[in-house]
Amino acid sequence: MTTSHDELDLPIISAITLDHYNQRAEDFWEGTRDHDVRQNIEALLQTIEGEPPYTILDFGCGPGRDLKSFADLGHVAIGLDGALRFVEMARHYTGCEIWHQDFLTLDLPNAFFDGIFANASLFHIPSTELPRVLMEKRASLKLKGVLFSSNPRGNDEEGWNRGRYGAYYSLDTWRHYLSEAGFEELSHYYRPSGLPLEQQPWLASVWRKIE
């Protein structure tokens, strides 16, 4: 599954991965709508400083499951996704503002968000582009803003996997990317909770923007 950086064609990576989701949007929704990610939502919200409501970006919001959770809690929830079908579904399901943006060509406001929720989304960004994208996300956070991420973990493999491009990082490598981008680690854990580590494929981590 490993791919040489020299072989990367970023527009093709985006197009194929987004087409995968656009073609399977309804099936994706049916397969994920009942997933319980309250642990992840709470991990972000409990570390944001200041008084709520918070302005939250759901980065890779998909059909809007988690976005609606933030909105129902009274926060200003904004979604972002590169798959047009997901954008349409999220707007209909949540009534929230949804931005249609490719992860590799972001246009984010400066110092705008209290928190960014990146649940199962950042792993689609090729490692060559990840430092830039993380810096763009950092710039869009307010002072001491918080970034939550949850990615399928691995041993730093990267490449195509069932029609989607992904990068599967170890904890040490993920820490390196985030610290280099100007974040400090607040916590990390593996999911699903309550299982042996070998049965926890997801690495969740929480990071604060530092100056």
In the predicted structure, residue 5 carries a pLDDT above the cut 70: no
Find the DSSP H helices in 24-64.
Answer: 25-32, 38-45
pLDDT on residue 7: 53
Average pLDDT in the 13-40 region?
94
Q: Cα dist. 102→14, 75, 122, 129, 153 in Å?
A: 7, 24, 12, 13, 23
Q: Cα dist. 134→25, 49, 57, 125, 140 in Å?
A: 26, 21, 14, 10, 10
pLDDT on residue 4: 43
Q: What percent of the chain has pLDDT over 70?
A: 97
Q: Are 167 and 135 within 8 A, CB to CB? A: no
- Residue found under tokens 């985006």: 14
Burial class (CB in 10 A: 0-12, 13-18, 19+), 155: exposed
Burial class (CB in 10 A: 0-12, 13-18, 19+), 80: buried
Q: Are 90 and 62 within 8 A, CB to CB? A: yes
Q: What percent of the chain has pLDDT over 90?
A: 90
pLDDT single digits (tens) 127-183: 999 999 999 999 999 999 999 999 999 999 999 999 999 999 999 999 999 999 999
Given pLDDT bands bounded at 50, 70 and 90, which one contains residue 211? confident
| For the chain, domain boundaries | 7-209
Q: Are 177 and 130 within 8 A, CB to CB? A: yes
pLDDT single digits (tens) 91-120: 999 999 999 999 999 999 999 999 999 999
pLDDT on residue 145: 98
Average pLDDT value over all residues in the chain: 94
Distance CA 145, CA 155 (A): 29
DSSP β-ladder status, 202-209 and 141-152: antiparallel
Q: How many residues does the chain have?
A: 211
3-state helix, strand, coil split of the chain in percent (to 5) is 35, 30, 35
- Residue found under tokens 């970034």: 147
* Class of the domain covering 7-209: alpha beta
